[in-house]
Structure 1
């Protein structure tokens, strides 16, 4: 990168904050939008920059997901968890963090026992500036322009991300490349693919927050309600799915089969590729798949028949969980990572959750879901804090301590009695524990996701088996972890336009034929350029 490339325009930063820099996710709901999962590893493998991968083996899982590329599952927390980190990672100085949140802001430090205890265990006072995820891109851009990023910051979606990191972030390469990362064993435990989002020009500028298969979306079902009606959760075709939705809908009882439009689930029945597909050295958008008109005709039928909740297009994400939890909508599409939330919102202790695997639309076999992206977001250390890099990396290493350790137990469940109760030998968060612990820690650094659902016995096994069935064959996004400047600048508006046409078609405000024209506009408005940039980045990464 030249000196000129590194100059950051305040106008460019504030003018491009509408795009979150998603790795190719155009028109699709994704957990990756929290901080702009954007990266370009153009030669990290060849140069030896990529950090070594050293998986943690301190605790044997009850259900091992390695063979299936899914998270390990545990049915019980170890009775005597190991202490993984002997000395507090902090250096006694304040650690200022800029990040996002998807939950209500926690009580202030003075009224927050969890926060106070975290500071004691870390050995440095933690100051966290949290912004709702939907507003984080604007907050991040403003912080960059005002030179107020803090010591640690969640990388947001703004233009010129490589240049921004070169200018504003500490170079972590000497500390994390190759075997150097072994000084931070729990960062070394992060899957290798996650570092794609952190390497620019043979330098490491950030730490990935891993997700992967757990962020894949699937169709949740209330098994208990289906059984009450004598219905099977085995769906073998598009027609089967329509009949199930019909049977579950009872407008007089204010029950609608689907909490929201099952657009992705239906696409899964037609083997629509995950965002992009490779055609030689070119990338082709899923938007161009020929099956879309048939898909929209089916979705229109679900809507016009009243099988989708009438407030599906006017509520918030949390409303989906409420409808599912109170039984007014027994089916909903969401990520596997949302399972704990669905358990907590269920109004009945007898509620049982399951997953319906997508069949092929014509009944000829199994459909394929979309594999979740490898990272949720990335976290960088400010260049202003270069003198404290080792201490700040030690702090991130602490936050990534894996399941089975004392550090994980505290980070996720706080103090016994104060923040969690013990049920059948397992920690279960109390309302106070949930409220006080929402410091956005899991978006600063985290371990590879572990399936652990102590809220209700048996759920860890159910989720693991569901993922085991459908995730190994899932479609991966070939552009996951790559960077497109055009996507950062224009992707958000292009996505918004396509989403609006999608909603209009499903609700009958526009004909199905409007889709072809919308895709043409998407391509000419920047979609083709995004495809070119991702294809170039993909080729360079090999």
Structure 2
């Protein structure tokens, strides 16, 4: 099961909420991706849950993914007729893994084309370069039949000019012709709706992209430590006990900025104040958060390289045991299993308490989608074929189609180990066609590498996600956020890191927020507030 989108940076497809400043994070779920969020009666697709495959641990009641302890022994054949029409289907999207072998050398791709019923061409770009690639393609009027929408200016105008209005095909009950698109969560469609029209198909995420604090439970247990912290002081004591500088061990792989903000009830990006929106940067507890983070840094509890390097470095530190705590998304769990040096390593989740011990804190709910794919107007005559292809890519866990799409052919691309598919080296190389960044099924918790981990992650999400704080404008669109948001975010992240590491005083925060507001933040708040008003 791929989880590579857990490592997306703010330079990728997502415009990102312009002001989080999450030092040391490595996740996709940072808030408002490029999207619309408009809605009207009869426009939003009717939600129709897929029920043919029964989960071992159903998550719907808690608004979390289903969990499976093994792949169903007799996968359902979900689609009877190949979606293709025999003509080529050209796709533009990104990848977070090495570019796969070309079609001629790629047996998975060849078999995939047979099952689709059309030859599929995928134009893949590394995620960090995708926005630039997308802008170039738009400027040259070379959009593919299906394209993932990049975070470029004037997205509504772009879609109006270049994309098929999918409202007649997907609004209300019309979507039932594409049952696996109808199985995508209702809120995931927010980014795809502009001016009460549907312009794309979302790539759903939601609770799985919420950030949390991972712990190496095996390391804690060896030291006789518990992860059930009740307040900020307990957190400091745990970090102190897990730090041994002489042996190059530091409690935290990176700065736990969001985890500490969760302890102080900082809102998720924005909070509503009447008809206006207020950025969480302005919250009165931010300076208290910085004081706590500065203490963690000055005491040496955060790895000295915690503010530099790549996201993968956090996984390496956690995996080799040099840091027993790391902040990341729930979707990152599989990659932490893969990077664990000690195969007996045990992963657990620590939920945030309120800083003063007055009860449990609340994590931030991940954005409902990480982006969406649109269909080129030049391909409008084939819109039903292309929607059928996207429906094929959204077939859910437990189906034959999902098994093939993620794991390829048995014996060649995957081996069955204890009843579950495990990719071979050839499989990992060949199946990475960016399919999950074109369309995908709702996320499923499936961790066959480690018995008991699917149950552990499900339980942790069940404990933390039902009370998670949502971003009120997740998935909505602000032109200023697209144009100025990335630079504003960079500036805020820099001041955040400077304050935590003691290069600037906590008092510098107020001036930075004032600069953020006048530099575009207030305008972003206005535009998001207007989008929120129009969505109701």
Fold shared per TM-score above 0.5: yes
Note if contact 1:302-1:308 (Cα within 8 Å) is conserved in structure 2: yes
Distance 1:457 1:518 in 2: 47
SS in 2 for 1:376: strand
SS in 2 for 1:283: strand
Which of 370, 375, 398 aligns to 1:381? It is: 375
Note if contact 1:222-1:353 (Cα within 8 Å) is conserved in structure 2: yes
Q: Which residue of 1 aligns with 2:113?
A: 119
1:233-382 aligned within 5 A: 233-382=227-376
Distance 1:172 1:279 in 2: 34
For residues 155-177 of structure 1, give each alpha carbon's deviation from its aligned partner in whole angstroms, at most 9, with x where no partner exists.
Answer: 00011110100111111111111
Which of 52, 56, 74 aligns to 2:68? It is: 74
Return closer, same or farther for 1:184/1:403 CA change in 2, 3 Å cut-off. same
Shift of residue 479, structure 1, vs aligned partner: 0.6
- Normalised by the length of structure 1, the TM-score is 0.94
1:226-237 aligned within 5 A: 226-237=220-231
Distance 2:130 2:148 in 1: 9
Distance 2:299 2:410 in 1: 50
Q: Which residue of 1 aligns with 2:6?
A: none
1:508-523 aligned within 5 A: 508-523=502-517
The unaligned stretches of length 5 or more in structure 1 are 1-16
Distance 2:375 2:118 in 1: 16
Note if contact 1:303-1:506 (Cα within 8 Å) is conserved in structure 2: yes
The unaligned stretches of length 5 or more in structure 2 are 1-10
Q: Which residue of 2 aligns with 1:460?
A: 454
For residues 429-485 of structure 1, give each alpha carbon's deviation from its aligned partner in whole angstroms, at most 9, with x where no partner exists.
Answer: 223222221111111111111111111111110000000001000100001121111
2:191 maps to 1:173:
no
Q: Which residue of 1 aligns with 2:401?
A: 407
Return closer, same or farther for 1:104/1:349 CA change in 2, 3 Å cut-off. same
Return closer, same or farther for 1:49/1:31 CA change in 2, 3 Å cut-off. farther
Distance 1:538 1:414 in 2: 42
Instruction: Name the stretch that deviates more: 366-375 or 75-84.
Output: 75-84
For residues 5-59 of structure 1, give each alpha carbon's deviation from its aligned partner in whole angstroms, at most 9, with x where no partner exists.
Answer: xxxxxxxxxxxx99943356643458558998322233x332x111111110011
SS in 1 for 2:61: helix
SS in 1 for 2:77: coil
Note if contact 1:37-1:378 (Cα within 8 Å) is conserved in structure 2: no
For residues 491-526 of structure 1, give each alpha carbon's deviation from its aligned partner in whole angstroms, at most 9, with x where no partner exists.
Answer: 001000000000111111111111010000000111
For residues 299-337 of structure 1, give each alpha carbon's deviation from its aligned partner in whole angstroms, at most 9, with x where no partner exists.
Answer: 111112211111112210111111111111111000001
2:136 maps to 1:142:
yes
Return closer, same or farther for 1:486/1:532 CA change in 2, 3 Å cut-off. same
Shift of residue 111, structure 1, vs aligned partner: 2.1
Shift of residue 241, structure 1, vs aligned partner: 0.7
Note if contact 2:32-2:367 (Cα within 8 Å) is conserved in structure 1: no
Distance 1:35 1:481 in 2: 7
Q: Which residue of 1 aligns with 2:16?
A: 22
2:36 maps to 1:40:
yes
Note if contact 1:34-1:100 (Cα within 8 Å) is conserved in structure 2: no
For residues 394-428 of structure 1, give each alpha carbon's deviation from its aligned partner in whole angstroms, at most 9, with x where no partner exists.
Answer: 11100100111000111111111212111211112
Which of 49, 55, 58 aligns to 1:61? It is: 55
SS in 2 for 1:186: helix
SS in 1 for 2:459: helix
- What do you get for the CA RMSD once the two structures are aligned? 1.7
2:195 maps to 1:191:
no
Instruction: Name the stretch that deviates more: 412-421 or 77-86.
Output: 412-421
SS in 1 for 2:365: coil
Distance 1:249 1:23 in 2: 33
Return closer, same or farther for 1:103/1:471 CA change in 2, 3 Å cut-off. same
Return closer, same or farther for 1:153/1:18 CA change in 2, 3 Å cut-off. closer
Return closer, same or farther for 1:297/1:34 CA change in 2, 3 Å cut-off. closer
Note if contact 2:53-2:76 (Cα within 8 Å) is conserved in structure 1: no
Distance 1:40 1:522 in 2: 23
SS in 2 for 1:350: coil
Return closer, same or farther for 1:117/1:64 CA change in 2, 3 Å cut-off. same
